[in-house]
Amino acid sequence: MASKVSREFAKTYVSRFGVTIPEWRVIFHLHTTGPVSVREIYQRVDMDKSKVSRAASRLEKAGLITKKINPADRRLVELELTDKGRALMDEITPLALDFESKLMRKLGVGGPNFRETLTQYLKADT
């Protein structure tokens, strides 16, 4: 079900903003956590390291993120949203909230329970 929901929402941001699913996952993660390493992203968003790296390269080329070497551990590349990346999130966020609202309506009375179960599941996974 998660991949179906992801594909449905992707129809919105892929066509409108030209952002792929892997790129969206990287942008969203950076938006919610701030600067982090590629390693942390691929561990947290359930994507191969190579997919995260390719998505990050495309996002950097588009001016949506910056990459820099972590001074404490030079093996790590830290990613951070640029102003342009934050502006993109400002545009996508209302669309995401609208999509979520529609999804909750489709789930009907089970929506709140679904959200609570998913929240507990995600907390247990951290």
- pLDDT tens for residues 87-113? 999 999 999 889 888 888 887 776 677
Domain that holds residue 58: 2-124
* Percent of the chain's residues with pLDDT above 70: 86
The pLDDT assigned to 61 comes to 97
The pLDDT assigned to 55 comes to 94
Work out the mean pLDDT of the chain and round it to a whole number: 84
Encoding tokens for residue 106? 């489709």
pLDDT digits (tens, 9 = 90+) for 36-54: 888 888 888 878 889 999 9
How many CB atoms are located within 10 Å of the residue 80 CB?
14
- Count of domains observed in the chain: 1
- List helix spans (H) across the chain: 2-17, 21-33, 38-44, 49-61, 83-107, 111-124
3-state secondary structure (DSSP) of residue 36 = strand
Confidence of residue 118 (pLDDT cuts 50, 70, 90): low
The pLDDT assigned to 102 comes to 85
Tell me if 16 sits within 8 A of 10, measured CB to CB: no
**CATH value at residue 58:** 1.10.10.10
Choose among 69, 68, 94, 97: nearest CA to 82.
Answer: 68
- Examine the pLDDT at 21 and tell me if it is beyond 80: yes
The pTM score is 0.79
